[in-house]
Structure 1
Amino acid sequence: MNLEQASQNNLKFILEGIGNHLKVANRGLLDPNDYDLNKYDDLKMMYDMIKQKGNLSALEAQAFLDELREVRKN
């Protein structure tokens, strides 16, 4: 899968990956319909950082969740 291309399928894949890695219980926060594709690069960067970092502290995980809330559509 080429995640360099912004698409709804890639957005869904990235959000699912972020949710799985952060062990998000409330998956409503990760509904792809709540995100604009113009924010895809920001989300991809977060996904890459999470994957590269591996284990996250509770504070780091919370920071990523806060950032997700910021890029969601209002």
Structure 2
Amino acid sequence: MDLSNPTPENVSYMIDKITEKLRMVNSAAMNPENFSTSKYDDLYYMYKMVMKRTNITPNEMQAIAAELGTLRS
């Protein structure tokens, strides 16, 4: 998938993959429709960081979820 373009479909894909990777219980809080393409670069950075990690500690998960919360529109 080409994630170089800030489209709503790419935002949705990245949010879904991050939620899946973090095994978030409350995935409804990470509704892709709550994210705008205006912060696409920040979201893309988070996506790349999360996807390259093999293990994510609970503290890191909490920090990632907090950061994603700041990216919501």
TM-score, normalising length: structure 1: 0.92
Structure 2 residues without counterparts, runs of 5 or longer:
none
2:64 equivalent to 1:40: no
RMSD, aligned CA: 0.9
Structure 1: how far apart are the matches of 2:57 and 2:71?
A: 22
Structure 1 residues without counterparts, runs of 5 or longer:
none
Percentage of pairs with the same residue: 30
CA deviations 1:6-59 (Å, max 9, x no partner) are: 111111100000000111111222212111111111111001001112210111
Structure 1: how far apart are the matches of 2:26 and 2:46?
A: 18
TM-score, normalising length: structure 2: 0.93
The equivalences for 1:1-74 within 5 A come to 1-73=1-73
Structure 1: how far apart are the matches of 2:48 and 2:41?
A: 10
